[in-house]
Amino acid sequence: MDCLFCKIIAGEIPSTKIYEDDKILAFRDINPQAPAHILVIPKEHIGGVDELNSENVAIVSHIFAKIAEIAKNEGLEKGYRVVSNVGEHGCQSVRHLHFHILGGSQLNGSMV
Ligand code: DGP
């Protein structure tokens, strides 16, 4: 499978890692949209939120528990945004489930 984030997980493409365990990886986005812009991904290949189901959804609770920890470690006490783009209309450019953590300054109030 030709998946960019699977290659990052495999170490074939370098990344700035923030957190890693046997199930997930967090690393800095190559094109930051905010002072802090981190991607959190499952090591299992799941294409996006639209491929979640009762068999694989447990990973999302693990990811969100770690998002809270990561945000605290990044000093984002004043708040942050968690975003997952899905499919063409959602402007998802990498078809591997990922959650953006965006923060470090006042974000725009608009969601779109
Ligand atoms: P999305 O558009 O929601 O699918 O987000 C994909 C993000 O992935 C986008 O913000 C840029 C980031 N990205 C793309 N290629 C690379 C890469 O090679 N390394 C890192 N660290 N981030 C990447």
pLDDT confidence band for 93 (50 / 70 / 90): very high
Closest CA to 70 of 111, 32, 1, 19: 19
User: pLDDT for 18-37, tens place per residue?
Assistant: 999 999 999 999 999 999 99
> What predicted TM-score, i.e. pTM, was given to this entire model?
0.98
The proportion of the chain whose per-residue pLDDT surpasses 90, expressed as a percent, equals 97
Pocket of ligand 1 (CB under 6 A): 4, 13, 15, 27-31, 39, 85, 91-94
Q: What is the CA radius of gyration of the chain?
A: 14
How deeply is 27 buried, as exposed, middle or buried, from its count of CB atoms within 10 A (0-12, 13-18, 19+)? buried
Distance 5 CA to ligand 1 centre (A): 8
Tokens of 52: 């979640």
Q: Which residue has the tokens 């470690």?
A: 73
Give the whole-angstrom CA distance, residue 77 versus residue 103: 10
